[in-house]
Amino acid sequence: MRGPHNILRLIRTGATLERTGAMGVVMDAMDAPPLVRGTMRFLAWPFQWLGYRGDPGMPPATRALTALGPAYIKFGQILSTRPDLVGEDLATQLRVLQDKLPPFPVEVAKQSVEDQLGQPVEAVFDEFSAPVAAASIAQVHRARLRETGEAVAVKVLRPGIEKAFRKDINAFYFAAKMIEFLSPASRRLRPTDVIAHFEGVVMGELDLRLEASSASEFAANTSDDEGFALPQINWGLSGRRVMTMGWADGVPLGDNAALDAAGHDRVALGERVLQLFLSHALRDGYFHADMHQGNLKVAPSGEIIAYDFGIMGHIDEYTRKVYAEILYGFIKRDYQRVAEVHFEAGYVPADRDVDEFARALRAVGEPIFGMDASHISMGNLLSYLFEVTERFGMETRTELILLQRTMVVVEGVARSLSPQINIWQVARPVVEAYIRKNIGPHAAVRDLQKTLAVLARYGPRLPGIVENALIRQSMPVVTQPSGGRLVPFLWALGGAGAGAAVTLAAIWIG
């Protein structure tokens, strides 16, 4: 429930950060101003006895987030990919949240497998190992199929995970409502919609049948991508709480020492991760939205292997074009065009000044060019970009949340492999290829042909559409001096007539 009792959950969050010593660590990593530090400590200190103790053997931040539960662990996973934001030490500490959390007993996992598959584990697998990876929602076991001898990975949901997530999400909803009530200016960021989006993503992760379906679709889209591979799903041994897939042999992408020892080129790997993500997002509109190091390996052949498809992002064709034009404008340093695209897409209210917005974007973009990533303060850059969005009344676009979040994560992964990488230089060939194919005269002709083809299918229905429009509009209403329903009538009639004209043109062109 989303009632005031969630205040206790939020108080306990701050209390846990204070009790475990994570509050100071987080404030230091984020370089929080003294006023923010003092306020947070003042609010949390009296209640620290309510905080969870956590595992004293863990570093403070990891200890706190692990104690607070899976929703908080998700945030920690994102931060673990951004050493440029939180510092190398904290990012390294948080990396254990990706796949090295405390596992649940193997006997419990076997029971879940038996319940899901309807037969004993021994009847299906010759071997079934202890957990080899444990994350916030599930853990993975290595097994061997009795029938074929194939090595597979068996993913099993944590017991009670649905209830744990629901508790956290309810608290987040309450916090979002309070923020909107206490700070009207925050409503443009649509915090409640953001939490609703997060809830939808998480609920999808809690049904492994949906993850298997996502993996299958993703594999079909990326089958021709050079240097990229996915494990194959075993549908017969998968269900809501259990998923079986081929075993992926390789070096974890987050282990730089192992990558170097295996002779892999980390600079090339960092560039490939970025380009693969952009290619999937722009070309397919369907991308892996949880591409942190814990979900990526490098095969002996040098291929990047992705797994864990619980969070996948989707953007429609129009949004892809908008996103590509914005990226391309930044790459070309054409800030006027970037500003115009924002206005055309409705991302910025129409009553704002497009030229002024272009100048503000220039202040965001110019520091990036001519510098390597190690000299760019992403924290300052994101802070200024936030100020720009607030100044021009831009609202949060919930359809772009996963895209923006994944862009941040993937950039962090790439920088952990190659600190000098420049996201704009690496992105340029992918974005330019998309622009050439999908924006311009040839693309306009192709889009028009698609539109005409759709309209042509309605050709036989057009007389009926026009007749129904005429019947719905009574003659007395049409002749009313005040106009009455005349405008809707003319719109309907004009729309039908335009449809007929376009359909005739389509037939003529064909």
Residues forming the active site = 290
Q: Which of 215, 203, 214 minimizes the C-alpha distance to 165?
A: 203
Residue 112 phi/psi, 5-degree rounding, is: -65, -40
CA atoms within 13 A on the CB side of 415: 25
CA atoms within 13 A on the CB side of 181: 6
Task: Work out the angle at residue 30's Cα, subtended by the Cα atoms of residues 24 and 36, and round it to the nearest 5 degrees.
Answer: 65
In angstroms, rounded to a whole number, what is the distance separating the alpha carbons of residues 77 and 423? 21
CA atoms within 13 A on the CB side of 421: 25
In angstroms, rounded to a whole number, what is the distance separating the alpha carbons of residues 79 and 87? 10
481, two tokens: 């001096």
Sign of CA dihedral 483, 489, 490, 495: positive
- Residue type for position 216: S
- Residue type for position 365: G
In angstroms, rounded to a whole number, what is the distance separating the alpha carbons of residues 462 and 500? 7
Spatial CB neighbours of 356, under 8 Å, sequence gap ≥ 6:
none
